[in-house]
Amino acid sequence: MRRAPKHVVRTQESVRRPRVDKPYRSRWPNPSTLAIGLHPLPWLPVSTNSSSPVPPDAGSVTTGLLAKIEALATGGRSTNLKLLRGKSGMALTHATSALAARGQRHLFAHVEAFCLFVGHARSGSTLVGSLLGAHPEVVIAHELDVLRFVQWHYGRDQIYSLILRRDAEFHSRGRRHGSNGYDYAVSDSWQGRFTQIRVLGDKKAGATTRKLAERPELLDRLRTKVGVPLRLIQITRNPFDNIASVSTHGKSLADAADRYFARCATLAKVAADAGSGEMVVVRHEDLVADPGGALSRLWRFLGVTPEPAEVTRCAAVVNETPNRRSTEAHWTPELISSICDRMAYFDFLKGYGYDGPDFNFNAENRSTAGPL
């Protein structure tokens, strides 16, 4: 205690009393004080299963607390998952997904398979993922990047909850994606809702393949975490169309080709390491030619029965012809020959070739060049 000057008379009032620390009042709600039986959150899709109905009072106290947490952390901005980047964002998502999962566990009791898209960006996987989600027992998130959450040691139910949330966000935006504003919505379908969830999954093929190239062990970690059979879907497209599409985003055709075949090498390794019946390759051109047949085969691959009504509705939204971006690019004979040489090293690219004007190359014109 500080001494008073000698000329100051010490009185009871002038003596500084010891400070009594008040309990710390954090602006963050304490999760341990929340009730166990939490209601579903606003982003939870509607379930019509009578055995596990969604409580009607979704606007519960838990919903308010989570909204307050996210508003404080994001400054009132939209809580789209894209904003939640970096360590602080992942910590926030970890907290909110843990709270949400506590009220959604009963929805995950019947999950029998986990679907993961691998492959290249701009190959048609967004269309396939959205169409698969039209089934009443399938929910596929649009570009959640599930392996990122596996890296951060999220729990199974947290990942499942984020899948529901991401799918609801995409559905609330009308299922429009890309610079061309392509509409992936199927009218009168089960997109954005479900009866009973038997298949959950994520569609972010390019980023998933890139992560597996750097950390292939993530696939085994995902298998262990979900505890159900893994179903890998690879959508392929004519390499010339795919490379041309990627080159429109600031890359030269040569750089886009190098990137494309680096991903092909990763996909070949993933296929070699996959278990029996764990991976399927679907050509975008086959989907366009027979959308009903291709979707029915994929639904059976996931372990669910195709619904005839959903097959018809989904087939109606698929374009009659594939988008041939390769016809808009300026190819050189040397680059065409190089691409065809490298295509011959991958079984899933057999039959593809350059069919543009002026040149006549295909995947059978193989030289001694390597795949990379």
pLDDT tens-place string over residues 313-327: 999 999 888 778 788
Assign 3-class secondary structure to the chain: CCCCCCCCCCCCCCCCCCCCCCCCCCCCCCHHHCCCCCCCCCCCCEECCCCCCCCCCCCCHHHHHHHHHHHHHHCCCCCCHHHCCHHHHHHHHHHHHHHHHHCCHHHHCCCCEEEEEEECCCCCHHHHHHHHCCCCCEEEEECCCHHHHHHCCCCHHHHHHHHHHHHHHHHHCCCEECCCCEECCCCCCCCCEECCCCEEEEECHHHHHHHHHHCCHHHHHHHHHHCCCEEEEEEECCHHHHHHHHHCCCCCHHHHHHHHHHHHHHHHHHHHHCCCCCEEEEEHHHHHHCHHHHHHHHHHHHCCCCCHHHHHHHHHHCCCCCCCHHHHCCCCHHHHHHHHHHHCCCHHHCCCCCCCCCCCCCCCCCCCCCCC
Q: What value does the mean pLDDT take over residues 223-228?
A: 96
Write out the two tokens for 112: 């029998």
Bridge partners, 118 (sequence order): 234
95 or 34, higher pLDDT: 95
Instruction: Give the number of residues written for the chain.
Output: 372
pLDDT tens-place string over residues 240-290: 999 998 887 777 999 999 999 999 999 999 999 998 999 999 999 999 999
Q: What value does the mean pLDDT take over residues 27-52?
A: 38
Give the pLDDT confidence score for residue 66 in this predicted structure. 54
Least confident of 42-46, 177-181, 195-199: 42-46
Give the pLDDT confidence score for residue 364 in this predicted structure. 45
Sorting pLDDT into bands at 50, 70 and 90, what band is 132? very high
Buried b (16+ CB within 10 A) or exposed e, 14-53: eeeeeeeeeeeeeeebeeeebeeebbbbebbbebebeeee
- Note the pTM of the prediction, 2 decimals: 0.76
Sorting pLDDT into bands at 50, 70 and 90, what band is 174? confident
- The class of domain 39-330 in CATH terms is alpha beta
Does 117 score more than 60 pLDDT? yes
For the chain, give the percent of residues with pLDDT over 70.
71
45: left (phi over 0), alpha (psi -120 to 50) or beta: beta
Give the pLDDT confidence score for residue 86 in this predicted structure. 62
Least confident of 39-43, 118-122, 307-311: 39-43
- Identify which of 19-23, 43-47, 354-358 has the greatest average pLDDT: 354-358
Buried b (16+ CB within 10 A) or exposed e, 114-135: bbbbbbbbbbbbbbbbbbbbbb
Residue of 189, 182, 194 whose CA lies nearest to 313 = 189
Give the pLDDT confidence score for residue 250 in this predicted structure. 73
Q: Where are the domains of the chain?
A: 39-330
Does 167 score more than 60 pLDDT? yes
Q: What value does the mean pLDDT take over residues 201-221?
A: 96
Write out the two tokens for 174: 């009308």
Give the pLDDT confidence score for residue 25 in this predicted structure. 44
Does 2 score more than 60 pLDDT? no
Q: What value does the mean pLDDT take over residues 54-82?
A: 46
Tell me the Cα Rg of the chain: 26
Give the pLDDT confidence score for residue 248 in this predicted structure. 78
CA–CA gap between residue 192 and residue 185 (Å, rounded): 10
For the chain, give the percent of residues with pLDDT over 90.
56
299 or 70, higher pLDDT: 299
Give the pLDDT confidence score for residue 5 in this predicted structure. 56
